[in-house]
Every structure is written in structure tokens, then in C-alpha cells.
Chain A
Amino acid sequence: MATLEITTTVDAKGLSCPMPIVRTAQTVKTLPPGALVEVLATDPGSVKDFAAWSRSTGHELVEQSVDGPVYRFVIRRK
């Protein structure tokens, strides 16, 4: 896995829908275009939700992986 320059990490572990998305959106808003945001979540619904959210907003879902109960998403702000 290529190492990406992560700007900020959103720790959404333990949060239920829709807070992982809401927190991520709030963080992304504060960053410049091109910034990379890493999101850590434990909500299994976030797999589908982050894909949908990236299609809705145009922010690119660069990477996604799972490590035990933790899902990791990397998003590039458009």
C-alpha cells in the first residue's frame, strides 16, 4: 500500500450513522482542495455510505481498507 500524505484524521470509531459522514464533511469543509482525510470508523454501514457520499460530493475516495472491526477510508477533497 502506497503511503499517502494524510492531512487530518477523523476518528469516528464507535459512532453510528450518520455521524461518521457528518464529522467527515465538517472536517473536509475546513481543508484546502487536494487535502487527504483519513477516516476511521466501526459502523459497517459506512462502507456503502462513504462510497455514496463520495459520489454525491465529488470528493474522491482514494483508498479503503478494513483492519478487524475498524474501517479506514482515505478521501481527497475536491
Chain B
Amino acid sequence: MTTEMLDSPVGVPLENPFAAALAERELEPETRTRELVIVNWSGELDRIWPTLILASTAAASGVQCKVFVTFWGLLPFVRDGVRLTGENWMQRMLSFMQQPGIDHLKLSKMNFFGMGPWMIGKLRKQYNVASPRELLDAATALGVEFIPCQMSMDMFGIKREDLIDGMSEPAGAATAIEIMTEANASLFI
């Protein structure tokens, strides 16, 4: 940024306020960064799907996008083939009740023991809609930042190496609050 220095009456250089304002205006709208934050707290298909559609589209539109991945929302981000063994029988049981991974998503309503997701999967293919896996790959390639929640990892018995590649360092609620309040828009999906 170029700012001209003016001499004040006492000989101390002052920044030219007009130059600063002009420089700021030149930044608009070409180089301004817009930010979208999504809190993804659920591992169910009907929530993570729209999350991934919005995140990948945001990144495609030049919007910096961060997704805070917390609670059950972590399960789809578990690496393929990983069986969560956890530290106790409850964590193992939970992992058995909801198989982790992006290809094993249930519906929050009308799941009907897998019949609902099966029908949605059929419709998805018929209408050529991108799968959560394709969207996750696109979002990652376009630079969406996925931030895992440390507390949820501990509670579900998920280790750093159980999660897919490319996720940020685990963080907590204060990080979520900071990025949400600094972003232009934040969503809790």
C-alpha cells in the first residue's frame, strides 16, 4: 500500500488520510475476502449434504470457507475402513450403532433401517446429483478448511489419525465463536 507522508507543522510526518481511504476503496470489491463459517454438528445425510454443497460452492465462489466439525458431525470425517475401538465399551458401541465414514450416512427422519437413504441414493444417481463424497473431495480441493472439535474427538474416542487427511488442527468452542463472529455469515447446520 502506498501512502504519502506529509509534514506536520512540527515536522513530524503524517499519513495522508485520503491515500489510505483511496487504497481501501480500490480493494473493493476485487480483493476483499468474504468468509463463511458453517458449524457441522450432525453426521446425518440431510445435514451434512447441504453443508458440503454450500461449503464447496462458497470456495468455488472465492469465499473463504471454514467448517467447524463437532459432535456427531465428526463421524463422516472418519477415514475409510477405520473401526473406532475407543477406550471403553460405550465408545465401541456408539461406533457400531452409527458406522463412521462419508459413505455410511443415515437420515435424521424417515431412515426406516436404511430404506430412506437407499431411496435417496437411487434418486441422487437418477438426477446426477453429486454424492457427499464427491462434494467433500471438491470442497477439500478448493481449500475449504475443516476444523475438528477436540472435545468431541475425546468423547467419541476418535484419534487425529482416524480422521481424513487435510483437516486442520483440532480446536474448541472458543475458536468456533471467534471464526463465527468474524465471518460475514455463519450457519449452524
Using CB atoms and an 8 Å cutoff, list the residues of chain A in contact with chain B: 14-19, 21-22, 24-26, 29, 52-53, 56-58, 78
Contact = CB atoms under 8 A, between A and B. Distances in A.
Interface in B111-164: 127-130, 134-135, 138, 141-142
A18 B30 CA distance: 23
A15 B128 contact: yes
Contacts of A22: 56-57, 60, 130, 135, 138, 142
Given A18-B53, A58-B29, A24 B60 contact: yes
B60 A18 contact: yes
B62 A56 contact: yes
Contacts, number: 49
A46 to B, nearest CB: 12
Nearest to B55: A18
Contacts of A25: 59-61, 142
24 contacts: A15-B130, A16-B129, A16-B130, A17-B53, A18-B53, A19-B134, A19-B138, A21-B57, A21-B60, A21-B61, A22-B56, A22-B60, A22-B138, A22-B142, A24-B60, A25-B142, A26-B141, A26-B142, A53-B60, A53-B61, A56-B61, A56-B62, A56-B63, A78-B30
